[in-house]
Structure 1
Amino acid sequence: MSRRDEGDDHESLMYFDFFNHFRSPPETVKQHQSPFLKYYEGCENVLSIGCGRGEFLEELGQRGIGAYGIDIDDEMVDYGNKRGLKVYKADALEHLRGLDDNSLGGVFTDDFVEHLDTAYLIKLIRLCARKLEKGRYMVNVTVNPLSWAAYSGIYLLDPTHKRPIHPKSMQFYMSSAGFSNVDIELITFRDGGGRLKKVEIKPNMDADAKRIADTFNHNVDLLNEAVFGPENYAAIGKK
């Protein structure tokens, strides 16, 4: 799921087993990724970087969209190939450098960019902008560090993560690389459980009690947004 120079970490961790233990089941991952399929309709040669088990590749293939994936984990690559997917073992930068400019019909990443050093990430985004055909999209899905629960859970859980990326930083990296109108889409998986509860405002409350309850509920909203905000975000840019 990440850079080649992290290969030793992956091997010592038995990353494929670790990933399967903590990652959502494939069908759940597909549900989370399905809203991004629309950016690749009618495309060919879509690249999924750090493709993992290949859920997004399967979804693209079912819609007749030509796609392939790369990953640096041997077991991820083998798993994808056994499922009939086009998956190759490759470092992302090395692979992109070997492609013709304007040759990709799209680029997708999920749970990938947080594995990278900043310098590597910036080079990656710039290369993707060069390799994409005009009018095509790059979508990066990653953990939202503005959600304390997501940061302490999703992010800190995986020891191969390098650093979280603020959504505004990602937006800047993509815009400066040449992507236009980069949108940040917040992604929430929770069903509302675990959030702080508000005080019920009752019709028979007097003015002072209602004012205190309103203030309390406002503060609960602020805390819920900071602590239990959307777990992930997607940065969506068009060349």
Structure 2
Amino acid sequence: MIEPNNLEINVDELMDKIRKDVVKRQVYSQETNLQPNNLQPNLDTSKLKLSISNIEAFLQNAESRSIVRTKWPDKLNFFPFNLSAKLQKLIIKILNFLFKDQREVNFNIINSLKESVALNYQLIDQIATLKAQGDSRLVNMDSRVQGIDERLVNMDSRVQGIDERLVNMDSRVQGVDERLVNMDSCVQGVDERLVNMDSRVQGIDERLVNVDSCIQGINDSLSAIDTLISSWLTGIQEGLDTVKIQVQAIDEYKSIVDARIERLNEHLITTDNRIITAVTRIQEINEHYIRNDSYLKNDLMQQKRLITVFLEEAKKCLPEPFNQEQLQTFINEDIHFLDAFYVAFEEQFRGSRQEIVNRLKVYLPLIEEAKIGTHESPILDVGCGRGEWLELLQESGYTARGLDINRVMVEQSRSRGFEVIEADVIVYMQSLPDSSLGIVTGFHIIEHLAFPTLMKFFSEVVRILKPGGLAIFETPNPQNVLVGSCNFYLDPTHRNPLPSSMIKFILETQGLQQVKVINLHPYPETYKVIGSEIAERFNEYFYGPQDYAVVGYKIIT
């Protein structure tokens, strides 16, 4: 049985000590009352101190035994109390919880007895003093001793109550013993289950032995098979050695063939490079001659036309001199003197036809959104040039016609099946009725017009557009420093750079609404400088959009 932590106080012995002290004090009090003037001269307090010292020793022992137990007693570390550490801690916690109140009572009793011992020490000191002071002090001390006796009697009654509580605690400890017995029975049940498990493990061991014998038989069979396979593989290896010799011979022959093929490849690469160089040179020569041929043909056509006109007019007036009307005919033909040159110039600097078509595709969504370009609201492209925009419109199913003054370009566009009119832009637009067109476009045309002509042109555009009609004009962007300072002047027929804010303002004053500017064709990213904010501003001014377009709509009345 587990011994409790706080039941080791020998209360009987302690009570006997207290009773003996009380009896001695009563005898002393009686003798003092009988002989008040006869003080015992040989009163020895050393024996009393010795008794109190014994009481202190008992109190220290009781205090040490009443503290909370935190360690499993060594004398219980044997079967069946040889439990796990966790279970020992759990039992100790349960016992500490069960005897919590008893420990508190014991501590209170011990503290009271300590106070009594301290008081007895004080009494001993006072008795020694009283011996020196005389009979009067002894009388007072008697009364105090009587009070102490009364307190000791009360303490006796309290100790009896403690005895009763200790008896109750013994009964509770017996209950704990019964629970431990039950726990022992549970542990025995666990042992029985472990025995059953051992028997099952033995059965498994027997089955494993049978399996091992089966595996041994399989291993013997595999050994026989390995022997057969080894002999078979030996035959195969011999055949492979023969094949290997043949393959080596083939590899040698292949190496010779590869060397010859490598030499042929080198020769072919050299030949291909020479052919590519020759083809590139031929293409350059062809392009050069094609441009020159186109220019010469167009120029010859114009010269032939001028000579023909000159001869026809000369026949009319000869032998008389030319009149004013005839001279004006020559002057009108003189403006077409550079038509062939400008066509060649466009071929060189404008870009290829396919490149321009791809650039103009950006405007198709605007036309589709405006729901125009039908027979009732046709499109007029001013300065149609080589007809790239007309080609794109025709492929998209829109009704459009072009207008240009360059006869060579007019003939080229007509040869492609486009409807193109040769006329001065202002004269032709003045001949059109009000609100007769759905869209008027002009790509790189307005920079060729003088400012008064430009204002008259925009005025006519607004007049001939239908309500809700669309105007689109593209021109070089002078905000790009490279364009405004150099590229703009590559074309000798350009007048002045036109800032986008100015053109937007002019169109708005002429009566168009929702006018917006679309920046187009920036330099490739490879041109741009990477770095700080200054680098970004540099890129914007030097490698930003090279062109812009202004788009506006006529007010719907």
Amino acid at match of 2:342: Y
Rounded to whole Å, the distance in 1 between the matches of 2:339 and 2:445 is 19
1:23 matched to 2:350? The reply is yes
1:141 matched to 2:141? The reply is no
Q: How many residues align?
A: 216
Rounded to whole Å, the distance in 1 between the matches of 2:343 and 2:526 is 29
Question: What are the Cα deviations for residues 42-70 of structure 1, in whole angstroms up to 9, with x where unaligned?
Answer: 42320000011111111111111100001
Query: Which of these residues, 119, 132, 152, is aligned with residue 465 of structure 2?
Result: 132
Give the direction of change, closer, same or farther, for the CA distance of 1:188–1:28 in structure 2 (3 Å limit).
same
Rounded to whole Å, the distance in 2 between the matches of 1:192 and 1:9 is 41
Rounded to whole Å, the distance in 1 between the matches of 2:481 and 2:340 is 26
Give the direction of change, closer, same or farther, for the CA distance of 1:134–1:17 in structure 2 (3 Å limit).
same
CA shift, 1:120, in A, is: 0.8
Question: What are the Cα deviations for residues 136-193 of structure 1, in whole angstroms up to 9, with x where unaligned?
Answer: 1000011000001222443111111001110000001110111001000100242213
Q: Residue 535 of structure 2 aligns with which residue?
A: 220
1:119 matched to 2:452? The reply is yes
Alignment of 1:54-133 (within 5 A): 54-133=387-466
Q: Residue 173 of structure 1 aligns with which residue?
A: 506
Whether the 8 Å CA contact 2:522–2:544 is kept in 1: the answer is no
CA-based RMSD of the aligned residues comes to: 1.7
Give the direction of change, closer, same or farther, for the CA distance of 1:75–1:189 in structure 2 (3 Å limit).
farther
Query: Which of these residues, 373, 379, 388, is aligned with residue 43 of structure 1?
Result: 373
Rounded to whole Å, the distance in 1 between the matches of 2:390 and 2:434 is 22
1:183 matched to 2:538? The reply is no
CA shift, 1:87, in A, is: 0.8
Secondary structure in 2 aligned to 1:237?
Answer: strand
Give the direction of change, closer, same or farther, for the CA distance of 1:78–1:165 in structure 2 (3 Å limit).
same
Structure 1, gaps ≥5 residues long? 199-216
Q: Which has the larger radius of gyration?
A: 2
Q: Residue 338 of structure 2 aligns with which residue?
A: 11
Q: Residue 125 of structure 2 aligns with which residue?
A: none
Rounded to whole Å, the distance in 2 between the matches of 1:193 and 1:43 is 39
Amino acid at match of 2:517: I
Whether the 8 Å CA contact 2:504–2:550 is kept in 1: the answer is yes
Give the direction of change, closer, same or farther, for the CA distance of 1:235–1:65 in structure 2 (3 Å limit).
same
Q: Residue 483 of structure 2 aligns with which residue?
A: 150
Greater per-residue strand proportion: 1
Amino acid at match of 2:457: L
Give the direction of change, closer, same or farther, for the CA distance of 1:100–1:165 in structure 2 (3 Å limit).
same
Give the direction of change, closer, same or farther, for the CA distance of 1:189–1:106 in structure 2 (3 Å limit).
same
Amino acid at match of 1:144: N
Secondary structure in 2 aligned to 1:99?
Answer: coil
Greater per-residue helix proportion: 2
Amino acid at match of 1:115: H
Whether the 8 Å CA contact 1:109–1:141 is kept in 2: the answer is yes
CA shift, 1:88, in A, is: 1.1
Q: Residue 34 of structure 1 aligns with which residue?
A: 361
Q: Residue 231 of structure 1 aligns with which residue?
A: 546
CA shift, 1:13, in A, is: 7.3
Structure 2, gaps ≥5 residues long? 1-331
4+ aligned runs moved over 3 Å, structure 1? 7-10
Amino acid at match of 1:43: G
Secondary structure in 1 aligned to 2:338?
Answer: helix
Give the direction of change, closer, same or farther, for the CA distance of 1:29–1:153 in structure 2 (3 Å limit).
farther
Give the TM-score normalised by the residue count of structure 1.
0.86
Give the TM-score normalised by the residue count of structure 2.
0.38
